[in-house]
């Protein structure tokens, strides 16, 4: 350790600096020919130019690759709906209710295997585990093209759920090791926008694939799995050799930038940077009452999120009759969903506040599904009905990113952060079981019970998120009154916050 107390990348593993809340210890580093002073008594940005230059490198080197990886993740998970519109159930001779079973079975292993696989990802590094998971789910998608009966596709959907289970939690954790808390939402939004683009691209891809006339396959929907699975496998190999294990091992950073990257995370993301995973300590996150508030919001988010992801083609099918046109009609709502996600995430980062935007997203969800369910004849009001599908997509994209960012911003312990994410994200996806059984074929094409159920989950999520946010606001003010200060989350470095709300200086990131 350097005499001035600064830590270089080589000293970063499992090192914790103990400082009091009023510590005046300061560290000087020369970064990009600028005099940088990093204070451990605040998480504020000291040298904006140096940090912006560093973030730009992360943005250009990491985000495009992660976004493409997640695009294929979303494609391989959600392509079943497109295949269904081309006659998947009929071609494989499904019995009544079997399509819902292959949709729903995905979420069982998705929830069961997410925590252990995420923990393995922490141990061996997300940069290596993420491409391996991608290779697996790409392979299972490719194999789906060869299925000839219900049993085959049912088994592959089970293994696909295992392979995709820890992907999103690990990507979130991976990005928290590169970005400050106030920088995270917009980066996760760019990354997550790939999901919306994937849904839109899946519609376009299906539009093109279903027009292929070929004797090589017996049904056009097989090409969908062949194309998407093949590209996924190929890109996973590239990602395995490209992604850096950490900022300290990033070949595109010099030594001064690596030191700055480490210090940023220590004061405004983690209590101990690159801390080794300890299961017993990580499970302490479930001792916090707010953890269960976040998990309830995840449950409320999961139903509308999965309803749109899995059944938007079936929802839109009420507006048009042609199979090819159905998939084309899903493109615009998904694209605008990505745009709304970016708008809300950038605004949230700019204001350093999360919960009002989470509530706004849930409000969009509620209104969109209620409007669509309330229309007795969508053909006489087709523009209103189609606009409602836009609101559905607006309302499911933003809360997912901002909610994950919100609770990651409030947990400085890396192990606890990963554990909460690896439970919360799969829990939201588990609600795909609710969505898959709510959208019954007997209710087609209106799906009124499913639409009303989804709207109710949206309304509940809005209320719970607002209640949790208002509690945090009240608790921050209570702590300030007791200490006679006026602090916010950005005023307290995360290296002091290993024990969370039990620390007197802790302030909630709203």
| 3 state SS for 149-203 | CHHHHHHHHHHHHHHHCCHHHHHHHHHHCCCCHHHHHHHHHHHHHHHHHHHHHHH
H or E element in which residue 29 lies: strand 26-31
**pLDDT (0 to 100) of residue 432:** 80
Average pLDDT for consecutive 10-residue bins of the chain (510 residues)?
37 37 36 35 64 89 89 81 82 86 87 91 91 95 91 93 91 88 84 71 74 74 88 95 87 87 79 76 92 95 89 84 75 87 91 94 95 86 90 87 90 88 88 84 84 95 97 95 89 81 89
The C-alpha atoms of residue 114 and residue 235 are separated, in whole angstroms, by 22
Contact indicator for 320, 329 with CB cutoff of 8 Å: yes
Those residues whose C-beta lies under 8 Å from the C-beta of residue 222, and which sit 6 or more positions away, are: 145, 146
Secondary structure E strands in 379-442: none
pTM of the model: 0.77
CB 405 within 8 A of CB 188: yes
**In the prediction, which pLDDT does 163 show?**
94
Position 324 scores a pLDDT of 65
> Are residues 240 and 128 in contact, defined by beta-carbon separation less than 8 angstroms?
yes
- Cβ neighbours, 10 Å, residue 377: 8
The pLDDT value recorded for residue 31 is: 31
H or E stretch including 258?
Answer: helix 255-268
Write down the pLDDT at residue 338.
85
| Tokens, residue 342 | 């970016």
């Amino acid at each position: 350790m350097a005499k001035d107390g600064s830590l270089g990348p080589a000293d970063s593993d499992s090192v914790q600096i103990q400082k009091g809340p009023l510590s005046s210890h300061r560290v000087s580093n020369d970064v990009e020919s600028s005099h940088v002073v990093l204070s451990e008594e605040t998480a504020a940005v000291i040298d904006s130019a140096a940090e912006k230059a560093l973030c730009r490198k992360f943005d250009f080197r990491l985000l495009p690759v992660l976004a493409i990886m997640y695009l294929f993740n979303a494609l391989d998970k959600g392509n079943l709906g497109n295949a269904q519109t081309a006659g998947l159930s009929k071609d494989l001779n499904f019995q009544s209710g079997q399509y819902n079973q292959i949709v729903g079975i995905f979420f069982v292993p998705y929830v069961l295997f997410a925590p252990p696989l995420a923990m393995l990802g922490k141990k061996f590094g997300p940069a290596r585990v993420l491409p391996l998971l991608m290779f697996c789910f790409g392979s299972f998608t490719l194999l789906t093209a060869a299925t000839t009966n219900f049993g085959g596709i049912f088994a592959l959907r089970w293994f696909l759920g295992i392979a995709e289970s820890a992907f999103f939690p690990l990507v979130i954790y991976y990005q928290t090791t590169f970005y400050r808390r106030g920088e995270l939402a917009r980066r996760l939004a760019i990354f997550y926008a790939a999901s919306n683009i994937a849904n839109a691209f899946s519609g376009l891809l299906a539009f093109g694939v279903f027009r292929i006339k070929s004797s090589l396959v017996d049904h056009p929907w097989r090409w969908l799995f062949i194309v998407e699975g093949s590209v996924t496998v190929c890109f996973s190999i590239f990602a395995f050799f490209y992604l850096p294990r950490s900022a300290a091992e990033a070949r595109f950073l010099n030594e001064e930038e690596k030191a700055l990257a480490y210090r940023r995370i220590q004061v405004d993301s983690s209590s101990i940077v690159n801390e080794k995973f300890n299961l017993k300590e990580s499970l302490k996150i479930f001792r916090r009452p707010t953890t269960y508030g976040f998990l309830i919001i995840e449950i409320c988010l999961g139903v509308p999120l999965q309803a749109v992801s899995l059944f938007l083609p079936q929802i839109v099918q009420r507006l048009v009759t042609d199979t090819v046109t159905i998939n084309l009609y899903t493109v615009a709502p998904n694209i605008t969903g990505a745009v709304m996600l970016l708008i809300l995430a950038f605004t949230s980062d700019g204001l350093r506040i999360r919960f009002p935007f989470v509530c706004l997203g849930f409000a969009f969800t509620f209104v969109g599904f209620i409007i669509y369910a309330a229309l007795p004849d969508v053909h006489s009001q087709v523009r209103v009905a189609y606009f409602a599908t836009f609101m559905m997509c607006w309302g499911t994209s933003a809360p997912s990113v901002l909610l994950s960012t919100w609770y990651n911003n409030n947990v400085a312990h890396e192990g606890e952060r990963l554990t909460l994410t690896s439970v919360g994200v799969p829990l939201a996806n588990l609600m795909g079981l609710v969505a898959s059984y709510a959208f019954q074929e007997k209710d087609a094409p209106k799906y009124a019970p499913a639409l009303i159920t989804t709207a109710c989950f949206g309304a509940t999520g809005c209320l719970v998120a607002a209640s949790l946010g208002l509690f945090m606001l009240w608790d921050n003010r209570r702590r300030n009154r007791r200490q006679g200060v006026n602090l916010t989350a950005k005023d307290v470095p995360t290296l002091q916050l290993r024990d969370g709300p039990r620390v007197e200086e802790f302030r909630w990131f709203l």
